Amino acid sequence: MRSLSWAYLVAAFGFIYLPVAALVLFSFQSGGLPVPPFEGPSLRWYADVIGDSDLMGALLNSLVVALFSGAVSVALGFCAAYGLARHHLPGSTLMRAVLIAPMTVSYLIVGLGLLIVLQRAGAGLSLWTVGIGHVVINLPLCFAIIYATMGAQQQNAERAARDLGANEAQVVLLVTVPMLAPAILAAFFLSVTFSWDEFIIAFLLSRFDVTLPVEIWSLLRSGLSPKLNAIGSLVFLISVAGVVALELLVFRKRQ
């Protein structure tokens, strides 16, 4: 049984990481196509990526939109979760259903709906509209994660703080938020990750300033290139660095 368990583990990790390994390997291809046989190693395509102002601009745009939409989604999700978890409001069940409903709708439908609304409102398409679209799809996720962790333990601590003379703002900032910090960080990181990789809404709601997935799609129209592998490897490296930084931050706080 132990050997079968190890075999299953190796097969699972191989299935997950083998495409990433192939992506990174052929990013060092010295030839013009990211296909066998491997010709290299070479940093030619990384130099092309770093020297490409359009790609670097799209990378920065993706980072800005992801951080902005993640922060706004977490703030709004926390406020909604706190209000519905700590106060008995009429129709609270319906409110929760409405908040979570966008998670069940296709990104294409959400993007088309937002495009129609923004055009009717006379708003020009930009990175701001992309950020708004990403808030729409990330807010339900943030709300669900934070709401699910708001249990009786936090509520008892909040009551104790009020009994000791803390006002509502102090209760939220000094008691509720620190106790929910792991859930808030998880919601923020997932929101940033989904925004970072999202293509459909970014494609529909942007015009001249585009995010990285949209820029990569435009490059794919001209055919495969090791340059795409190089930018994919850089994105993967940034994502891994973010995960490591988050783990170290949470670990240090727990210590």
Amino acid letter, 158: E
Distance of CA 150 to the CA centre of its chain: 22
Q: What is the mean pLDDT of residues 225-247?
A: 76
Q: Residue 251 pLDDT > 60, yes or no?
A: no
Cα separation, 131 vs 69, whole angstroms: 5
Long-range pairs, 117-121, Cβ under 8 A, ≥24: 118/205
- Give the N- to C-terminal CA distance of the chain in Å, as an integer: 37
CB contact at 8 A, 55 and 121: no
Length of the chain: 255
The model's pLDDT over 115-155, given as tens digits with 9 standing for 90+, comes to: 888 888 878 888 889 999 999 999 999 998 888 888 777 77
pLDDT computed for residue 17 by the predictor: 79
The model's pLDDT over 102-118, given as tens digits with 9 standing for 90+, comes to: 888 888 888 888 888 88
Query: Which of 62, 74, 65 minimizes the C-alpha distance to 238?
Result: 62
pLDDT computed for residue 252 by the predictor: 59
Amino acid letter, 99: L
Exposure on the CB side of residue 247, measured as CA atoms within 13 A:
6
The CATH superfamily assigned to 61-213 is: MetI-like (1.10.3720.10)
Q: Residue 254 pLDDT > 60, yes or no?
A: no
Sort 212 into a burial class: Cβ within 10 Å, 0-12 / 13-18 / 19+: buried
